[in-house]
Homo-oligomer: A and B are copies of this chain.
């Protein structure tokens, strides 16, 4: 893919999203879209550039076009609605966008989500899913987990039993439970070898953070 053309489309998408989709959710802002695109490129390069960069770029910027909160009943429909709206948008607003790539963008966006539960059928979908999952791990993943708990007014952890050893886990109620319920499962769920390697290191960082937090909760500084 011609780099100048890729930069042209990136600027078009950023300009559109800045004007039309400016939310006050700091876990799903332009910084998130930029980093997911950055992760997509890094994974695609490491994997031998098998995926189409323009499809990846487009899917990265529009994958959260519709993003219901974690505790919303229609949460599992977010990615399908995002895919549908992106396809319409590309046809109607971005008239120069290659029509033959729209189906691939639609599939990548629809399949990227954990809660949609459909299989990834293309390299682009696999890479987007891995790139987005990296945002749930490492220091950024820790920050996003607690930021989102603040948005939802839930608790940071269960102070009596932070690891959930003697109670049912509930990540809508306790942010720290989200580590076990979802985040620490991600390395095993990554599609690409590059993604898996990145995810393992950043999942280890979460485990170390949780150990430190549990020590602090019991008064061991």
- A residues bordering B, Cβ < 8 Å? 24-27, 29-31, 34-35, 38-39, 42, 134, 138-140, 142-157, 159, 175, 198, 201-202, 205, 209-210, 212-213, 216-217, 219, 221
A57–chain B nearest beta-carbon distance, Å: 15
Q: Is the CB of B39 within 8 A of A219?
A: yes
Q: Which residues of B contact A153 (CB under 8 A)?
A: 24-26, 151
Bound-state Cα–Cα, A149 to B25, Å: 10
Copies of this chain present: 2
Q: Which residues of B contact A152 (CB under 8 A)?
A: 150
Nearest B residue to A143, CB-CB: B146
Q: Is the CB of A30 within 8 A of B150?
A: no
Counting chain B CB atoms within 10 Å of each CB, the highest count among A29, A138, A155, A205 belongs to: A155
Bound-state Cα–Cα, A210 to B140, Å: 10
Nearest B residue to A213, CB-CB: B139
**Extra 19 A-B pairs, beta carbons < 8 Å, given A42-B221, A139-B213, A143-B156:** A26-B150, A26-B156, A31-B156, A31-B157, A35-B159, A35-B217, A39-B219, A134-B221, A138-B212, A138-B213, A138-B221, A140-B156, A140-B213, A142-B146, A144-B156, A147-B149, A150-B151, A150-B152, A151-B153
